[in-house]
Amino acid sequence: MTLSPVDWIIIGVYLVGCIVAGVWMRRYVRGVDDFAVAGREMDLNLGIASLAATEMGLVTVMYTAQLGFTNGLAGATVGVLMAGAMLLVGATGFVIRPLRDAGVITIPELFEKRFGKSVRWLAGLVVVLGGVLNMGIFLRLGGEFLVHVTGLDPAHLQWTMTALLGIVLLYTVLGGMLSVLVTDYIQFVVMGLGLVVTSVLVVCDVGWSNLTERLERAYVQGQAFRESQEQAERSDRTRVAEARRAEGPQAADALRKQLEARRHADLVHRKSELAAQGVLVSVAKPKADAQPPESARRAAPAGSSSKGRETTASVKTAGADDPKALPEVKAYTMADPLDPVSPRGFGWMYVVWQAMFQVAVVTTWQTMIARVLSARDSRTAKQVYRRSSFYFVGRFALPGLWGAAAFVYFWGQGGLPEGVDSLTAMPAYLKTLLPAGVIGLLVAAMLAAEMSTDSGYLLTWATVIYNDLVSPLLRRPLTERARLLLVRALVLLIGAFLLFYGLWYEIPGNAWDYLAVTGNIYLASVFTLLVGALYWRGANRYGAMAAIVLGAIGPLAFLVVNGVVKSGRFDIDPSWQIKPEIAGAAAFGMSFAGMFLGSLVGRRWGGDGPPARPAWEIKTP
């Protein structure tokens, strides 16, 4: 444990302050409007702080640091694209102005005006599915950070996650959006201070010129390894294909496992040697109850001793008798750290997908739109977007800087410690860097980030479930007290689901790609519906239905296919995994095609004509 008494005092004061402020706001909650959108009285400064705090969670710090660890300074590209999208929407009022003027509580509520109740319900279902799955890894990533940066026993991860969730549920259930806004303001201040102080210490530790020079050198040195690995994988795929033709699928799958195990054993055996070449090998900690199978012991590299971290990991990796018992081995090389569109970086297709994705995020992501709908008017909403836009560059750049520095640090240390990978390298590095007191400030800042995000997301998805899934099915409206009680119960139920989901689901790839693709389940379709409802008079319910269904196919295929491949339960070649940019771009393309073609079909054969006036002109009472 690395926390000193000073650290505990800082963390304790912050937590008590947040809980008291959040619970205190309960006295001002009189109905669902107060609970869900703070009575639509959010002013500019509170809106900026709340939006920035909610969209800067501990999960954000983790996945942006992971992008920095794997892509260097180019990892901030996503933040630059998001800031540009915020500026564009804030300057033009695209989508958010008519949406705020419509007076709705959620986005699907707007769709009922234009496309009917069935579309509203289906859109609400897709919004909740994408949003809750997206939030599913928040607690695990938050717990992973706290475990690695404080030195907690990893066995306490579940209890750490539960405690975090319990604190957030306490004030969110009682005070709703009013509590979220007030605690967001406190969390924004604490989080900003922690980010700046930590970033200054990181730069002082590694040096800016040294950081950029080492990243570029790591990229150049790692190219030879990448090329050799790609060549080896192509050769192995050829051998497996030949075995499949000559001996059948069972023999081919056995050969594939053997070749993969041999590559992994070689990686672990050469771990120190590869680190000198800018290649960091990550070996998961073996389970305490897992015993190396006989075939694994036979596959151990010649000259390895019977003890030691490398030998144990390589032995277990080499066996294929029980894939679940074998620790995972990965080799990380630095992508092009300065050029995001380089073929050795993100690539053009990924950047184009992210540009589309960020425009959809800032106009349809319900937790962001909740601030638009809580604003006093559309003018305030536009100002919030414009003035908070640059913050989103720092949201990616500063934690990305920590991740890049972690790569340089562990490169100099001869490789990653056992159990540390691209996701946890950053907190493991900060644990070695930060002195007493500063660690307490950082943990308080990260708790601020986690709590503000969790509270805002819990409230948002509970409001959508009530407003767009439950309410349209009721024959008679509930009383104000019953509505408030139901929304609070939904917050608790979502919290329970997130706790259990976060414990067992394994991310198929890096965290940002998972979050982007799960968000894409509804972002592509809802963005298409919003543009159609607000700006295309020819859009109708047939096109809306087609857009919702088709827009979800790509992201769901990514989750299912990649999850199945990664689980190892079936003998599926890893090359079958779907790239995130393919799944994401396909979602946008299929959704817009569905809206256009479905609306034409509906107008011709379904009898749906264009409405008499735009959807935002139909005010909600």
Burial-class residue 6 by CB neighbours within 10 Å (0-12, 13-18, 19+).
Answer: middle
**Structural domain ending residue among the three candidates 301, 333, 365:** 333
489 in the same domain as 472: yes
Report the CATH number that the domain containing residue 169 is assigned in CATH.
1.20.1730.10
Same domain, 304 and 374: no
Residues 326 and 415 occupy one common structural domain: no
Structure token digits, residue 201: 């210490």
Contacting residues for 146 by C-beta, under 8 A, at least 6 apart: 152, 160, 427, 443, 446
621 falls within a domain: no
Q: Which residues contact 599 (CB under 8 A, 6 or more apart)?
A: 532, 536, 538, 539, 540, 542, 543, 608
What number of residues does the chain have?
621
With respect to residue 138, please indicate whether it lies within any of the assigned structural domains: yes
H helices present in 207-248, as ranges: 208-247
- Summarize pLDDT for 303-316 with one digit per residue, the tens: 333 333 333 333 33
Tens-digit pLDDT profile for residues 368-415: 887 787 777 888 888 888 888 888 888 889 999 999 999 999 998 888
Last residue within a domain, chosen from 315, 333, 351? 333
Residue 360 placed within a domain: yes
Does a structural domain hold residue 47? yes
Same domain, yes or no, for 232 and 298? yes
Q: Tell me: the pLDDT tens digits for 422-465?
A: 989 999 999 888 887 788 877 877 776 676 677 767 777 888 88
- 402, 520: one domain: yes
- Please give the residue range of the domain that contains residue 301: 217-333
Report the number of distinct structural domains present in the chain.
Answer: 2
Q: Which of 281, 302, 333 is the last residue of a domain?
A: 333
Average pLDDT, the chain: 77
Residue 453 located in a structural domain: yes
Two structure tokens written together for 527: 């963005």
* Dihedral of alpha carbons 345, 350, 352, 355, sign: negative
Q: C-alpha 449: how far from its chain's center?
A: 14
Q: Is 251 found in the same domain as 137?
A: no
Supply the pTM of this predicted model.
0.76
CA 520/CA 131 separation, integer angstroms: 9
Tens of pLDDT along 21-69?
655 555 554 544 444 444 445 556 666 666 666 677 778 888 899 999 9
**Smallest Cα–Cα separation from 68: which of 307, 381, 338, 452?**
338
Same domain, 428 and 560: yes
Tens digits of per-residue pLDDT, 270-300? 888 888 888 998 887 665 444 444 444 444 4
Encode 208-218: b = buried (16+ Cβ within 10 Å), e = exposed: eeebbebbbeb
182 & 255 share domain = no
Q: Are residues 234 and 199 in the same domain?
A: no
Mean pLDDT of 524-534: 91
Residue 332 — φ and ψ, nearest 5°?
-105, 130
CA atoms within 13 A on the CB side of 13: 9
Q: How many CA atoms lie within 13 A of 366 on its CB side?
A: 37
Q: How far is CA 82 from the centre of its chain?
A: 14
> Could you tell me if 328 and 257 lie in one domain?
yes
- Specify whether 260 is located in the same domain as 357: no
**Whether 341 and 488 share a structural domain:** yes
